[in-house]
Each structure stands twice: as structure tokens, then as C-alpha cells.
Amino acid sequence: MAVTRETETESSQFTPNTDPSNTKDFSQALQSFADSEKVQLSVFSQTLQTPVASERRRDWVLNVPEPPGLLSKLKSSFKKTLLCPLENKIQCLGKHPVLALVSILNVIFPPLSWCKEYNVTKFRRDILAGLTLASLCIPQSIGYATLAKLDPQYGLYTSVIPPLIYAMMGSSRDIAIGPVAVVSLLLSSMIPKLEDPTTNPIAYRKLVLTVTFFAGVFQAAFGLLRLGFLVDFLSHAAIVGFMAGAACVIGLQQLKSLLGISKFTNKTDIISVLTSICKSMHTLNPYSFIIGSSFLIFILSTKYYLARKYKKLFWLAAMAPLLSVIMSTLLVFLTRADKHGVKIVKHITGGLNPSSLHELQFNSPHTAEAAKIGLIVALVALTEAIAVGRSFATMKGYRLDGNKEMLAMGVMNITGSLSSCYVATGSFSRTAVNFSAGCETAVSNIVMAITVLISLEFCTRLLYFTPVAILASIILSALPGLINISEAKYIWKVDKMDFLACAAAFLGVLFVSVEIGLLLAVGISFAKIILNSIQPGTEKLGRLPGSDLFGDMEQYPIATTTPGALIVRVKSALLCFANANFIRGRILNLALEEQDEGVMESANQDRVQLVILDMSNLLNIDTSSIAALEDLQNDLETNGMQLAVANPRWHVMHKLRLANFLKKIKGRVFLTIGEAIEACLTSKNMLPI
Amino acid sequence: MAVTRETETESSQFTPNTDPSNTKDFSQALQSFADSEKVQLSVFSQTLQTPVASERRRDWVLNVPEPPGLLSKLKSSFKKTLLCPLENKIQCLGKHPVLALVSILNVIFPPLSWCKEYNVTKFRRDILAGLTLASLCIPQSIGYATLAKLDPQYGLYTSVIPPLIYAMMGSSRDIAIGPVAVVSLLLSSMIPKLEDPTTNPIAYRKLVLTVTFFAGVFQAAFGLLRLGFLVDFLSHAAIVGFMAGAACVIGLQQLKSLLGISKFTNKTDIISVLTSICKSMHTLNPYSFIIGSSFLIFILSTKYYLARKYKKLFWLAAMAPLLSVIMSTLLVFLTRADKHGVKIVKHITGGLNPSSLHELQFNSPHTAEAAKIGLIVALVALTEAIAVGRSFATMKGYRLDGNKEMLAMGVMNITGSLSSCYVATGSFSRTAVNFSAGCETAVSNIVMAITVLISLEFCTRLLYFTPVAILASIILSALPGLINISEAKYIWKVDKMDFLACAAAFLGVLFVSVEIGLLLAVGISFAKIILNSIQPGTEKLGRLPGSDLFGDMEQYPIATTTPGALIVRVKSALLCFANANFIRGRILNLALEEQDEGVMESANQDRVQLVILDMSNLLNIDTSSIAALEDLQNDLETNGMQLAVANPRWHVMHKLRLANFLKKIKGRVFLTIGEAIEACLTSKNMLPI
């Protein structure tokens, strides 16, 4: 809204009527008053100098410096984002080599900045948080590996190396790194199209590791090239919808293990899954179902009832999954329920992460496809990690650098792909537990990683009798945290179009597939941008009564019209090929209507003679729109009206001048609406350029 | 640019310092002056009431009415564009049935509006123009039919029925309807992928007629649904590039006939065509080449030399093609050059347009594809017709209604598809001839159609010996008109990004294919809209010296900063998910830099305490951007600064209120930048909501 005051305008309207002597009297009176009170009178003195000032202002508008061209703009933005930081560091390295080295080390290894202040108290807290985290992490990791259609140990591997790397390079102090549900789902919904995990598990695993490598490379590249903004392309609303949809899909996938069904579809959409479940209902295993659902109730009740009622019992909620695993394993071992059809985890390969360098595939026919999946997974993983990291950083009052985070995530996943880990990122549920457990720094991640490593070395044999249904319960219990109904309600309240993107992501994921849901959300978000930018509307501006401001007459119902002039503003930010003709037509119709009304209502002097186009909100125009403006001026002229332009921005003014449009409207370009009214209606002196 | 005057602000800064009695004196002095001079003194009286006025203005900003929701907006726009015109007419029909009927007839048949004033003089001119038009139209139609890979008579058919229909329904008085080069090229480059015209010419023709039918249906539907703006989606720059590329491609295609080569590629891109010509160079027929090129020189020299030098000889340029046909036919007939390998037209089926209702195919496997091609052809044909129609309408000072034109074109092509015509539209070259020949109304089209019909009935046998090379010459001679180098230069000068779309369309058509060229141009045009709208930049605003306006400090290098405040504006129209985080970072960095400078340079009182975000240009925000603004306020607060918002637009204000953001910034929302500075810096009274 370009509200413009026009004190000078109104006052200058009467200046020509008063004879010089009186004006002098008045100015003398003012002067004496000012002297006596030692008051700033710039406003008043200006009022009396209006004709000169107005001329000077027109010069300001007309003689703007040339804006930077496309090439120089690209060059400077490249310099600013990539070269300058590097150059600064290199220069600094020459002058103060030690200081510079320290600052570079600080940049690459952010933990160095807090390690000086690290002490025993903090360490004790981190150990406690790390152990709590590990107790949640071990069952979740096994569960998510199953969700990603990998052997259980791959989930545990992913909870060892990536957290260690992140602890050295990442800047978040709260985030808990490891496998997460949504990424596991993404992998298991996209990669089986290339390799079937049931018939050829080794090829499938190799592909997963290759995708992990590519995801890491993309993430590191984004960080190095400072493309942090790419993460923002998944809008907040889209993420809310996507996460909720993914949670539902993951929940549906878990029904297989929970119900102990043997046959299950490979598709992820709700219709396929539900029909598949209905068809295989007769293979349901009641023991599996009873074990799984009773422990699910136990975990959920600790998490949503006990931990909320007694804040100090949060550790119980965090330990509940591990307790469930232990108790259910004992139960199955004692009752030998596995002989009654309860599926158990069986053998988990123990020991340290094996190297997987030889498993990466760069010459297979699927490499290009793997890179594409890697890109999608990289973006989704980054989006989740940065969203999690930022929200907890805000709570503790520190700030994350998106580019540095990306680099850390990238290095962590590249290293991970070489040591049998699949894509790791920041987990919503575990980060919350880490925060509640009172973690101080990323040391809690190191403690967790070491604990998981020890379990890998010594305890995998203990998990032989763990029922698969319990893993499903653990995953299911983490899902409600991904569904944010209150946020969806807020989005609905504030922005209906945003809600559309949110709902499209949700329904797309639920009814079609994970990729389609993502694509829909991104598509709708960008379509919204285009719609908003070229929305072909116009709004009439009016003077706010008793003041000298101009505002949208619908926004400010008290605004009044100026006799003889129609003041319009375009409702979009761009006047371009896609809306210029429509807007030209709208303005012309509006002007003709106003003219007719003016003729009917009152004397001829009030009929519209001037159409002022307020350009204050126009970011840019193109050649099509300049042609449309020329047409508009011609049409108005044949109907006895004139077009004037108020307040054009830099690039707009420059293009209008290049296109010789200023000559077409005889230089009727003004800094404010008020000046346009004054110059064209009051004094009738259409200034030539 | 939101330049804002703040007269009141500055004056109110001193008001609290003056004691009441003096203020009274001053206002009395003013009053007496006003009384004596009978002058409007609203400005001055207002100055003295500033505290009240300022409060009231904040109310204006804060208490805006609720903007219409998404649904009600859609409803009202649907009503406005579709229902209201209909309703008005129905209402009118009830009140004044005769008048309403006349107005409806006038709408459907625009010629009724000029037929009353039609007289013998005009009719004589129209006959002359129509005959001139026919002399150009007959050879061109045959040529374009060959270009579209149809038998020659289909071109002539297309010059009979469509012009007659258009003459009754169209509103342009100058446009010449018939087959055109670009549409013929489009058809012959897209349809052969479905049916081969050489091996199965009948199936190919059926498909062309089906595509024509679909194109007509789409055009009529666009007109009825008032989707006229769809034509604008091909930007001016894209059309310039596309036309030039198409002209080059058409020219290349004509080389086959001109050189008398027998083997030729089916592809249209320049590389395939040139290699194909090089390979078949040994089959070149020198007689064909000599006849074709000598008549090409004749036509071009009449058109570009004689007609330009002696304006009255334009009829010679218009007749030159027909003269060439007659002379070359005689030449071949007399010398029997066809026995020396000169290809001739041979038999053309004469007679009235046959019905082609039975040839339309709605059950074939290609129907869906035909509909898609129909849509593309419909849009390109409309774009050309409306561009041609508008430019000549502007010259004569009348206006075309895009929607009505679309309906007329649609009905004309549907009828055409039922009577053996392929897609017709307005031709650039023939419309110019029609205009130069002094046409008055669409009657010239009727005269032309009847002349073509008579030729079809009686003269087709005379064309038996017409060499094919002469048709190529006629098409080639029409091509320079499609290449507009000066317009391309103008686009380069005014808008580099527009030129990119233009160049992409040109190169895409030339080097890849017609569709890819179109797709590239549309893609770049829309990518430009997105880039412009989310461009993540900020600009610092400064006060213009000696005035009370705020402007971009780069656009107005004379602008100065305000001590203690940083005034910024976002360079894009939308603050949304795609740029909000980046902009948040930029504003924060800018504020921190300014603060550091302030601390170094001067006393503590000058350090930045207030960041004013001028929202006058923000069309819309979304939930992501509100979250970013909240983050920004938190970050600023931790650094001892405050965020204030100036001049939010309707929807922005509404969303800020819904999201409770106003509470977060303690109600620091102001109508102008000046008021924000005054309220927050001078008086330090942060107003609670």
C-alpha cells in the first residue's frame, strides 16, 4: 500500500490564489513564531517553496542512476556468496596466520567454540542424556531399518558413525542423529522400483548405500555452494502435510508386523494397504497382535499420560521402548511363542560397522536413478534436520547456520555410506528426548554412539527372541509426534492457500505415493507464487479523510475519491505478459465507468480527466506490459483522459525510459500521487520532457 | 517504492515542547489568516492535532475490515466474468425485450453495428480490397496446404468457409482469414508423428480435420468461459522469437521445392534439414531452381523496392504472386519444362467444399493426442489472430474484444472442420495487404471468399502446369514479414530476461522442434515471474534530503539514513517459504552491521534501536514467513533492537493479526515510516495493543 501524504500539494493549491504580500505576511508571522520558540520549521518553509521543490523531486524520479544489469547482478551475487568469504579468509591468513587458522578451525569444527567452557557438570549431564537417548535409539534404529527393508544391524550401524561425525562438525547442541522414519519410508518406497529387496537383498542394500552416498554428496555440495535456501523450497505448510501423510503411511506399513500378517503389498498408498490387509486377515497371528498392542498401549500411556502428568518421569517415557523390548523378548523366550507363529528378529550380525566402499555402485544401470533418489532424500533429510535443529536452537537462544549444517550432514552421510550406514538425519522424537534429558552439547550424541557400538559388539545375541511386533509398536508410538493437528488448524486459519498445499501433500502421500505427495506440495506452493504475482486485479485508491494519505478504498472504507482523477493501483507485483492486457482492460473500463458517473452526477469539471497509475508496488515490467501501457494511454486519450504515473521503482523507471514511454505520456511521471494531481489537474501544465 | 511524507511527524516532534499558550497564539494567528484569505487550512490545523490524528491513523491500520476469503473471491470472480453479463442480459430481456434482443444480436454478430452506416463507396472499396486479397490468397493458400502436407485444394477450401463465418461473427474489420504459415508448420511437424502423410494421406487428412475440430472447440470454449487471458501466456518476446524461428524453419522446408530435390527429411530442425539438403544436392533440378528463384526475386523486389518507393504501386506487390503463378504456368506449359524434371502441381480437385463430417475421428487411438495438438494449435492460432487484429484495430482506432474474437474463431474452425477446411486464422501478410488496399469492413473477406470459390469451381484446371517451385517462392516471399529484428533489438535494450525468452523460443524452434521452442519460451517466461517474485533481496531506505520522503538509497543516492533506525524494504512482492528465511538473515545481518558502525562512529544514542520493515510492496505472506518474522523479532530483541512494521497491505495485515504477530511486536504497526520513527524513537512509548 503506497500511502502518500501530500501536504505540499494541498497548500500549493491555494498559493497561486493569495497575493504575494499576504504570503509574505504569513511567512513573516511564521518566522517570528519560529524564532521565538526555537522550533524546527522545515515543514512550513517547505510549504512555501513548493514549486521549486516539486521540480527538484521530479528530477529525482527522472534522473535515477542506471540500475545494475543482469550480468553484473549475477556477478556480484556470485562474489558475495562464494568468493568474498573465501577471499576474506585468505587475506586474513596472510596477515594473522594463527588467528585465521583458529577461525577457520572454528568454522569447520563448531564444537571448538564451546569446548573451552566444557566442564564436569556438563559432561555428567551429557552422559545421562546420551544413555537415555541410546535406550530409545537402539529399538528405534532396528525398527527403522526394518521399515527401510534392510537387516536390523544397518539401523544400529547408522546410529554409530553419523552421530560421531556430526558431533565434530555440526553446530546444533541438541539434535539427535540417526535413522528416521520418514527417510526410511522414502527409501523403501522409491528404491524397490529398481531392485526388489525380497528377491535380491544384496543388490537392494548396495543401491541403498549408493543413494546414501549421493545424498551426502548433494548435501555437502549445497553447503559448500551456500545453497541453504534450497531447503526452504519445501514450505512450512507442505512439511506439515507431508509429515502427517508419511506418519499415516508408516503406521499402515507397521500393521503388517503388528497383526503378524504374512502377505503384504509393496505399495504404500492407503487403499492398496487396506485391501491387502483385508485379503490377508485370515493369516492374522493373535499372539503377535496381543504382544504388540499391549506394549504399544504401555509405551503410549507412559509417553502421553505419565510423562505429561509428572514431568520428572520423562525418563520412563524414554526408557519404555527399551523396557518393552526386554520384557517382550523375555516373554517370548520363556513361552517360546515363536513356535506359535510369533515372528522374531532372530540373528543380528554384531560387531563394528564393516566397510562398504566396495558396495557403492557407480557403473550400474541404476546409477542415474540412484542419484535422483539421492537428491530427493537429501532435501527431505535436510529439511527435517534443519527444522528440528532450528526449533531447539531457538528455545536455547543460539543460531544455526544452514549452510554449515548442510556441510556437516553431507560429510556425515558420505562417511556413513562408506561404513554400512544408510541415510541419517536429525530425528524429531529423539531430539526432544535428548533435550528433556538435559543434554548440554553434542557430547550426548557421542555417548549414545558409543553405547550403541557396545550393544552391537556384545548384545545383539540377546535380541534373538525379540518379537517383530514390538518393533512395530515402537515405530507406531513415535508417529503421533509427526502429526501436528494444531499447526494444520493454524495454517487453515491464517492462509487457505497454504492449507491447500498442506492438504495436497497429506492426501498425495496417503492416496498416491510419497513422491507424488512431495511433488504436489512443491507444485502448489510455486503455483501460488505465480498466481499471487500475476493476479490480474486493480484497486481504486482514495484519500483518507482529514488527512493527506492515499489508500485502498476497500481496505480503508473511509477513503474518498478525488474529483476529476481516478487513482488505481495494480494488485500484483509484476505487470507482465500474463496480466498486462487484462489489467489494461480493467483500468480502461474503470475509467469509463467513472467518467459516465461523473457526467451523470455533477458538472462537467468533475468528470475524470486523469488516470493516475500508482506504480509503487510494481517490482518489474516487461516489453509486453509497456506495449499494454502505451495502448492504455492511446485509449484514454481517445476518451478525453490522460495517463499519469506515480512513484515508479528503480527498474521500472529505467525500463520506461529505455522504451521511450515517458515521451508517450508527455513526462507525466511523479514522485507521489499528490504531486501528480497537483501538476495535471490544478495547474494543467503538462510538463514536456 | 513507498515514498512517504511525514510532515505531521516532524511537526509533532516539537509540539510537546511548546507551552499551550503559545500554541494557542499560533493557531489563532493561523485562524485569522485563514479567515481573511478564505483559504483551506486543513493541513495546518491537522498539524496541531497530530497526537489524535496519529492515534486515529493507527486505528485505520489496525481495524481494517476482513478481506474476502478465498472461496468468496472465487465466487465473485466467477460471478463477475460469467454470470453477471448473462444475468444482465436476461433481466434486460424481461424489461425491454426488443432492445435486449438487438443488443444480444449485436454482441453475437458485431457487423450489425456497422451495417447501418454501410454505403456504396465503402462497398466499392471493399470489393477492390477483396479482389486484391484473393489474388494473393489463392497462391498462398495452395502453398500453405503443401506446407501442411495436404492436397492443394484444402488450402483453397480453408479460404472459403472460415472467412465467411468470421465476417459474420468477428469484430475486426481488417483481418484477413485463411490458412497461415506458422499453423501449417505446426500441423505438419506434430501430426506426422501419429500418421505418416506420405504412406497414408487419407488417415493424415482425417487427423488434421479432427485437430481442426478440437482447435475450434477449444477456441470457442475459451471465448465462452471468458478465458481471453490465456492468449497472453505467450509473451510478446516469446512470440517475436517463435515467429522468427518458425519463419526460418518454413524457409528451410521450402528449399526442397525450390531446389527440386526429391529426398528430404521429415524433421524440421536446421541441422537435419541442412544435412539432408547436402546429401541430396546431386538430385537438384536446375530448371526448378531458376524458375523459382527468378520469380522470388521478382516478388521480393516488387514488395520491398517498388511498393516502398512508390506507395501507390502496393497493388503490384499484392498481385505479384498471382502474376508469377500465371507467368510461370505459361512458361512451363509453353516449354514443357515438366518433361525436364520440373515438378508441377498437376490435378487439383475443383468444386465447392465437400462435407467432412464423416472424416472426423473420435474413436481412434489418436483422439487424445489430436485434442492435445488441437489445444496447442488453438492457442498459437489465437495468439497470431489477436496480435494481428489488435495492431490494425489500434491503427484505425477501434477495439477488439478478445473473448468475442475467440468465440468467432472457434465457431469458424468448427464449421471449417465439417467442410474440409484445416485450421484458419488471421494472416499477418494478407491483413497488411487488405489494410493497404483500403478495406472498410469484413465485406472484403466475403468478396475474397467468393472469388476463391469461383476459382475453385472454374480455374483449378488452369493450375495444372503451375511449377511447385513457384509456390515455394511465394511462401518464401512472405517470410521476411515474420522476422522482426528491430523488435528483437528493442527487447534486448529494454529487458534482458525477456530477450532470453525470445532467443530461447527462436533457437528452440530452429535447432530442436516447434513444440520445444514454444515450451522453452513459456517456461522461461514463468520462471522469470517466479524469480522476480521471490528474489531474496532487501533494500535500505533513506530520507530524501530537505524533504520528508523515504526512498531506496541506491535509486536515490542523495537519500540519508535516520540515526537510530534502520529502514528496510523487501525487494520482492511475496514474503513466502521460498525467501523468508534468507531475507530474515539479510535483515539481521544488516541491522548488526549498522549497529557496529553506529557504536564505532558516534555516541551510544545513535546506535540502531529500531528496524522498520516497510511492507508497502508486500502483496502477501504465508505461514512460513510469519514464523520467519517472529524469529527476526526474537533475534533483534536479543541484540537490543526492536522490529516495527510500516504500511502493511490488506491481506498482509489480516494475516499478521490472525497469526497473533501484532502481540509479538507489541503493536508496532504504523501507517507510515515517519510515524513509526516518531512513535518508537522519539517518544519511546511502545503502544500496547
Give tens-digit pLDDT for B494-516: 888 888 889 999 999 899 888 88
Give the residue with greater pLDDT, A603 vs B427: B427
How far is the C-alpha of B194 from the C-alpha of B211, rounded, in Å?
A: 12
Run of H or E residues at B449: helix B443-458
Q: Nearest residue on chain B to A399, judged by CA atoms? A: B635
The dihedral of CA A578, A583, A584, A589: what is its sign? positive
pLDDT of residue A604: 55
Say if the Cβ atoms of A655 and B495 lie within 8 Å.
yes
Q: Say what the pTM is.
A: 0.72
How far is the C-alpha of B181 from the C-alpha of B401, rounded, in Å?
A: 25
pLDDT of residue A298: 92
Radius of gyration of chain A (CA): 34
Q: Which residues in chain A have their CB less than 8 angstroms from residue B238's CB?
A: 577
pLDDT of residue A605: 56
Cell triple for A408: 556437516
For residues A192-214, average pLDDT: 92
pLDDT of residue B88: 66
Give me the residue label for grid cell 506507395: B311
**By 3-state DSSP, what share of chain A in percent is helix, strand and coil, each rounded to 5?**
70, 5, 25
Angle between helices A367-396 and A402-418 (to 10 degrees): 130
pLDDT of residue A35: 43
pLDDT of residue A425: 94
H helices present in A148-301, as ranges: 152-158, 161-169, 181-190, 201-224, 236-259, 270-279, 286-301
Q: Which residues in chain A have their CB less than 8 angstroms from residue B636's CB?
A: none
DSSP per-residue string spanning B228-249:
GGGGGGS-HHHHHHHHHHHHHH
Q: Which residues in chain B have their CB less than 8 angstroms from residue A659's CB?
A: 490, 494
With beta carbons less than 8 A apart as the criterion, state whether B361 and B144 touch.
no
Q: For testing the chain A interface, which of B533, B575, B670 should be mutated: the one with the most A CBs within 10 Å? A: B533
Share of chain A above pLDDT 90, in %: 19
Q: For testing the chain A interface, which of B9, B229, B645 should be mutated: the one with the most A CBs within 10 Å? A: B229
For residues A141-169, average pLDDT: 92
H helices present in B459-495, as ranges: 468-478, 485-494
Q: Which residues in chain B have their CB less than 8 angstroms from residue A233's CB?
A: 577-578
From the list A53, A574, A635, which residue is nearest B532 (CB)? A574
How far is the C-alpha of A288 from the C-alpha of A285, rounded, in Å?
A: 6
pLDDT of residue A7: 36
pLDDT of residue B599: 59
Cell triple for B545: 534530503
Say if the Cβ atoms of A619 and B4 lie within 8 Å.
no
Q: Which residues in chain B have their CB less than 8 angstroms from residue A579's CB?
A: 229, 232
From the list B237, B536, B650, which residue is nearest A229 (CB)? B536
Mean pLDDT of chain B: 81
Domains of chain A: 1-64+535-689 (3.30.750.24), 119-528 (no CATH)
Longest CA–CA separation in chain A, Å: 114
Alpha-carbon torsion angle A205, A133, A293, A463, nearest 10? 60
Tell me how many degrees the CA angle B168-B171-B174 measures, rounded to the nearest 5: 95
Beta bridge partners of B467: B344
With beta carbons less than 8 A apart as the criterion, state whether A570 and A32 touch.
no
Closest chain B C-alpha to A228 CA, distance in angstroms: 9
pLDDT of residue A308: 82
Which residues, in sequence order, are CB contacts of B132 under 8 Å at separation 6+? B315, B318, B319, B433, B434, B437
pLDDT of residue A70: 66
Indicate the length of chain A as a whole number.
689
Confidence band, pLDDT 50/70/90 cuts, at residue A552: confident
Residue A55 phi, psi (nearest 5): -60, -45
How far is the C-alpha of B434 from the C-alpha of B442, rounded, in Å?
A: 10
Instruction: Inform me whether the pLDDT recorded for A624 exceeds 70.
Output: yes
How far is the C-alpha of A22 from the C-alpha of B159, rounded, in Å?
A: 77
How far is the C-alpha of A413 from the C-alpha of A405, rounded, in Å?
A: 12
pLDDT of residue A407: 92
With beta carbons less than 8 A apart as the criterion, state whether A538 and A569 touch.
yes
pLDDT of residue A2: 40
pLDDT digits (tens, 9 = 90+) for B148-180: 999 999 999 999 999 999 999 888 888 999 999
Q: Which residues in chain B have their CB less than 8 angstroms from residue A650's CB?
A: 1, 552, 554-555
Can you say whether residue A426 is alpha, beta or left, with left for phi > 0 and alpha for psi between -120 and 50 degrees?
beta
Beta B610-614 vs B425-426: how paired, if at all? unpaired
Cell triple for B311: 506507395
Say if the Cβ atoms of A60 and B556 lie within 8 Å.
yes
Confidence band, pLDDT 50/70/90 cuts, at residue A269: confident
How far is the C-alpha of A34 from the C-alpha of A38, rounded, in Å?
A: 6
Cell triple for B161: 468457409
Instruction: Inform me whether the pLDDT recorded for A30 exceeds 70.
Output: no
ipTM: 0.72
Residues of chain B with pLDDT under 70: 1-58, 60-62, 64, 69-70, 77, 80-93, 546-548, 598-606, 682-689
Instruction: Inform me whether the pLDDT recorded for A374 exceeds 70.
Output: yes
* Residue A508, CA distances (Å) to A113, A192, A246, B647 in order: 44, 19, 10, 38
Mean pLDDT of chain A: 81
Q: Nearest residue on chain B to A638, judged by CA atoms? A: B397
CB pairs under 8 A between A and B: 320
From the list A40, A547, A626, which residue is nearest B10 (CB)? A40
With beta carbons less than 8 A apart as the criterion, state whether B1 and A649 touch.
yes
From the list B6, B620, B655, which residue is nearest A532 (CB)? B620
How far is the C-alpha of A609 from the C-alpha of A613, rounded, in Å?
A: 13
From the list A3, A616, A627, which residue is nearest B671 (CB)? A3
pLDDT of residue A231: 74
pLDDT of residue A211: 95
Q: Which residues in chain B have their CB less than 8 angstroms from residue A39's CB?
A: 14, 17-18
Beta bridge partners of B643: B611
For residues A171-181, average pLDDT: 91
How far is the C-alpha of B84 from the C-alpha of B481, rounded, in Å?
A: 42
Residue B194 phi, psi (nearest 5): -95, -45
Cell triple for B602: 558516534
Residue B645 phi, psi (nearest 5): -120, 130
Q: Which residues in chain A have their CB less than 8 angstroms from residue B25's CB?
A: 33
The amino acid sitting at B479 is L
How far is the C-alpha of B413 from the C-alpha of B428, rounded, in Å?
A: 18
Q: Which among B320, B560, B311, B542 is positioned nearest to B429, based on CA atoms? A: B320
For residues A23-52, average pLDDT: 40
How far is the C-alpha of A229 from the C-alpha of A235, rounded, in Å?
A: 11
Q: Nearest residue on chain A to B233, judged by CA atoms? A: A578
Say if the Cβ atoms of B577 and A232 lie within 8 Å.
yes
From the list A1, A635, A650, which residue is nearest B552 (CB)? A650
Q: By CB neighbour count within 10 A (0-12 exposed, 13-18 middle, 19+ buried), where does A22 fall?
A: middle
Say if the Cβ atoms of A623 and B237 lie within 8 Å.
yes
pLDDT of residue B24: 44
